[in-house]
A and B are shown apart, each in its own frame.
Chain A
Amino acid sequence: MYQGYRRIFWGIFFLTFTINLGSLKILPSFAAYLIIHSGIKTLQNEHSSHLLDRASKASVVATIISILEIVFVWFVDLDNQSYLAVLWMTIIILIELILIYFLLVASTDILQHYDHKELAQEYDKKMRIYISSYTLLAIVIIISYTFSFITIMTLASIAMIILRIWLMAIVNSLKKVGAFV
């Protein structure tokens, strides 16, 4: 499980911090989702769970949507606050929400399976805080993007990065716990 969470950690890292060389993205979003998918697959090999199956499916959908986005921008300007741009951004936000939810719920499930009930409760609580905070920030980002509230958008984006860093810390701690179960 250590290996699986390690990959998920790096997937979230590259999803949060994209490295650009000029106009060339070194690791586009779909590659980051693929890394997360491969991490979930590794977890599935060690622990069979329908929640991991759902997380795996969500990561595949996220990968496909990210690839579609790259194709889309050749034909449609997704950066002009059009209805399509707002809708597309919401789809990406929702798929990420669903992916992270199933990943964290599956992790709680794994901990319970190995009789780490207290740890499972702790991670269940973290999952709830993360999902609620993510939803709140997603709502602020959707409203501020639609109506060009640039300052609020910037603040919400910074808060989202901080939330992602916290998620990385959660996954990192799961990696350490996973090494012992």
Chain B
Amino acid sequence: MKSIKIIYLCIISVVVILLICLGISKYLELDMPVYFENFCEYETFYEENPDGTSYIQDLNFSIQYVTNVSDSRTVSTIHFPYAPEIYAQGSNYNQSFSFFSYDNNQISARTYGRYSVRDLYINVMFDQLFDDIILTKAIIYYNNGDMQEVELGKIVLRCHESQVNYIVSESSGGSNDGTAFNTYRITKDVELVDITSPFKYLIDEIFEITINNVDYKDISGTQLKEGSSLRIEIASKNALNESMIYNIYRLLPMINYQDMDGNKYSIPIYNVGYIPIYDADFTFSGLINYFNSKGAL
């Protein structure tokens, strides 16, 4: 019977394709989840109440990692070996409450080919005022008992004492073309001193920041009169290469200024960052190229 050949041919074709798909999947499989690097600053505020008690708000932030699409493990605990003084919780479940939904049963994950990009939400609690804490490594514990030591990049946790400010934030905005702006109102005559950041090398490499149309490095001595305004513009230089494209950049450079009596103040510049979130940022082939550049495959 001639038609028996067609079914053999069809079955063989399907089986061959199956084997090729499984072979490629096996080749692309990650041994362990890969954590994207973070170059971030997060701040919290220390407040003293009139009755003498003090309060520091918890810090909540997230990091991203990629694992195999069929990986059913979730993160159960996180520990920072170089900052043993802080108490942190890590979870794939977003515990945050929004007006429209409260869903803490679904892990935050997006699928790209054989990979799943997942968010790890971290909550850090403090009980006293602290100097900058720098997190570079973390030990991740998964719910199946696995443990993984990961390089985080550099995450700076900062605590400010609430202080009076004479440069008051008025508005801010951003665009998906990588530009952002912040405007401020000046409520007292002040003079800009400088801008400081633990990531100054990155700011120069990745961003262009202008303050009232002047490069941020040249603002020292700029006088600002009461009632005037300050506009900070941030633009991305599109300088992220293949090994940087999935990193999280969230920088908070500080504008340091003084009043005419020499009292010093500072305020952070917001919207200096790049956070890959959307499908436009992640692709299956992009992730494969990233792993190849990192030697993870």
Chain A contacts to B: CB under 8 angstroms: 77, 80-83, 85-87, 90, 93-94, 97-98, 101, 105, 124, 127-128, 131-132, 134-135, 138-139, 142-143, 146-148
Chain B contacts to A: CB under 8 angstroms: 1, 3, 6-7, 10-11, 13-15, 17-18, 21-22, 24-26, 69-70, 72, 111-114, 284
Q: Are A77 and B14 in contact (CB under 8 A)?
A: no
Across the two chains, which residue of chain A brings its CB closest to B3?
A105
Q: Complex Cα distance A85/B68, Å?
A: 14
Q: Complex Cα distance A118/B17, Å?
A: 36
Chain B residues within an 8 Å CB radius of A134: 10
Q: Are A135 and B3 in contact (CB under 8 A)?
A: no
Q: Complex Cα distance A139/B1, Å?
A: 25
30 contacts between A and B (CB under 8 A): A80-B70, A80-B72, A81-B69, A81-B111, A81-B114, A82-B70, A83-B26, A83-B70, A86-B18, A87-B18, A90-B14, A94-B11, A97-B7, A97-B14, A101-B7, A128-B3, A131-B7, A131-B10, A134-B10, A135-B10, A135-B14, A138-B14, A142-B14, A142-B17, A142-B18, A146-B21, A146-B25, A147-B113, A148-B111, A148-B284
Cβ-neighbour of B3 out of A82, A97, A127, A148 (below 8 A): A127
* Given A77-B72, A81-B69, A147-B114, A94 contacting B6 (CB threshold 8 A): no
Cβ-neighbour of A143 out of B1, B21, B111, B112 (below 8 A): B21
* Given A86-B21, A127-B3, A142-B18, A148 contacting B11 (CB threshold 8 A): no
Cβ distance A83 to chain B, nearest Cβ, rounded Å: 6
Secondary structure type dominating chain A contacts: helix
Chain B residues within an 8 Å CB radius of A97: 7, 10-11, 14
Q: Are B25 and A148 in contact (CB under 8 A)?
A: no
Q: Complex Cα distance A142/B22, Å?
A: 10
Q: Are A83 and B25 in contact (CB under 8 A)?
A: yes
Across the two chains, which residue of chain A brings its CB closest to B71?
A80
Across the two chains, which residue of chain A brings its CB closest to B113?
A147
Cβ distance B106 to chain A, nearest Cβ, rounded Å: 14
* Given A98-B11, A124-B3, A127-B3, A148 contacting B18 (CB threshold 8 A): no
Q: Are B6 and A146 in contact (CB under 8 A)?
A: no
Across the two chains, which residue of chain B brings its CB closest to A147?
B113
Chain B residues within an 8 Å CB radius of A98: 7, 11
Interface hub of B13, B18, B26, B72 (most chain A Cβ within 10 A): B18
Pick the 3 closest A-B CB pairs, nearest first: A82-B70, A135-B10, A146-B21
Interface hub of B11, B24, B70, B114 (most chain A Cβ within 10 A): B70
Across the two chains, which residue of chain A brings its CB closest to B28?
A147
Q: Complex Cα distance A132/B114, Å?
A: 28
Chain A residues within an 8 Å CB radius of B114: 81, 146-148
